[in-house]
Amino acid sequence: MTAEDTVTPPTLFEPIEINGVRLRNRLILPPMCQYSCEARDGVPHGWQFQHLAARAAGGFGMVVAEATAVTPEGRISPWDTGLWNDEQAQAWAPICDEIAELGAVPAIQLGHAGAKASTVPMHPGVPAGQPILEGPDSWETLSPSGVPTNSMEIRTHAMQVDEIRETVQAFADAAERADRAGFGAVQLHAAHGYLIHQFLSPLTNTRTDEYGGDYEGRTRFLKEIVAAVREVWPADKILGIRISGSDWREDGWSIEETVRLAQELQGQVHWFDLSSAGIGDTYEGPKGPGYQVPLATAVKEGTEGIVVSAVGSLTGAQEVADVVTAGRADAVCVGRAALANPNWPTAAALELDVPEEQVPMARQYFRAKW
């Protein structure tokens, strides 16, 4: 028996350090668009404050704010949050303070929707992802090759190299504002068919210049963003990437390419969050509880020193805890189940009967323990 065999695996409610930043447990609230900027100005208000603060009070180790656009044309819908100006940065600041005050690390997902921008928000009764084709809320979107991500009619054009450079810079500028606002982690949105994913995937990137073609070309945009963000983002804060680990298509972006990318970014990026898909009309991948966990495990096993989180249809306390104790991922995101119950982590800790000091309950709520 080697020393390695005797190491006790961590448990879900044990703290974890990512680049020296301590999370009180391994539960992450994933980014979830709220489409709630009433004034269409990208400025977060009371809704975002209560949504994120409630889940920090509920016990998450890290709370990730929704996909936040780095430019106005990068918004999925006109009601998205943004970080392309200082007014937005100032409005995020009290939200960060509150999340931190409640014991969680405040994080934000920075994104650009590319060809999937200018769509109606995902609200009850509204067809998801429907492009807005006319009127003041409609704009021509940017994309690597003018190729749509699905069969819906859109207005998009292939980015010129100067537009690529401006967008890379916009990610860095937004990261700088995120730092000033008080976020402890930035997550780059390279998943779900949005702009960075559109560059990674051969399904949507048919460029013949240095930003397309082989693996090197298709990953160049993301690598340039990482390098630009690293210039401004403090070395002692967390830099992460949420990636679609697979397009689940023979001719698409693959888990092998994802693992290679994670290996190449080791040392620059501290955290990989493994989601999947987003390009195409239909979802072609596996389904069911924890369907994306194998993607996280592949990146965890293929890299060293990167914290890897799993996400997707993980809802039960024991099921989530098992992902960590089995070493399949270092942390787990719980999304929709935490929309239904903001106190999901606290409830799970009580259900799993973890040691008293690991129950992440807000002290004001201590009477809930019976």
Ligand X SMILES: Cc1cc2nc3c(=O)[nH]c(=O)nc-3n(C[C@H](O)[C@H](O)[C@H](O)COP(=O)(O)O)c2cc1C
Q: Which is nearer to ligand X, 75 or 270 (CB)?
A: 75
Residue with the CB atom nearest ligand X in the bound state: 335
Q: Is 212 in the site for ligand X (CB under 6 A)?
A: no
What span, in angstroms and rounded, lies between the C-alpha atoms of 86 and 315? 37
Q: Is 67 in the site for ligand X (CB under 6 A)?
A: yes
Q: Is 311 in the site for ligand X (CB under 6 A)?
A: yes
What span, in angstroms and rounded, lies between the C-alpha atoms of 273 and 291? 14
> Which positions ≥6 away from 306 have C-beta within 8 Å?
262, 265, 266, 269, 270, 271, 272, 299, 300
Q: Strand pairing of 16-18 and 21-23? A: antiparallel
Q: Is 334 in the site for ligand X (CB under 6 A)?
A: yes
Q: Which is nearer to ligand X, 206 or 318 (CB)?
A: 318
Q: Which is nearer to ligand X, 7 or 340 (CB)?
A: 340
Q: Active site includes 211? A: no
Q: Considering only residues 191, 195, 196, 262, which one is a binding residue for ligand X as defined by CB under 6 A? A: 191
> Which positions ≥6 away from 302 have C-beta within 8 Å?
259, 262, 263
Q: Is 346 in the site for ligand X (CB under 6 A)?
A: no
Q: Which is nearer to ligand X, 55 or 192 (CB)?
A: 192
Query: How many residues sit in the footprint of ligand X (CB under 6 A)?
Result: 20
Q: Is 335 in the site for ligand X (CB under 6 A)?
A: yes
Q: Of 336, 342, 364, nearest to 54 (Cα)? A: 342
Q: Of 126, 43, 134, 120, nearest to 76 (Cα)? A: 120
**DSSP string for 64-123:** EEEEEESSGGG-SSTT--B-SSHHHHHHHHHHHHHHHHTTSEEEEEEE--GGG-SB----
Interacting span for ligand X (CB under 6 A) from 19-27, 188-196, 202-210, 251-259: 188-196
Q: Considering only residues 71, 258, 275, 343, which one is a binding residue for ligand X as defined by CB under 6 A? A: 275
Catalytic residue from among 35, 194, 215, 283: 194
Catalytic residues: 194
| Contact residues: ligand X, CB under 6 A | 30-33, 66-67, 109, 189, 191-192, 242, 275, 311-314, 334-337
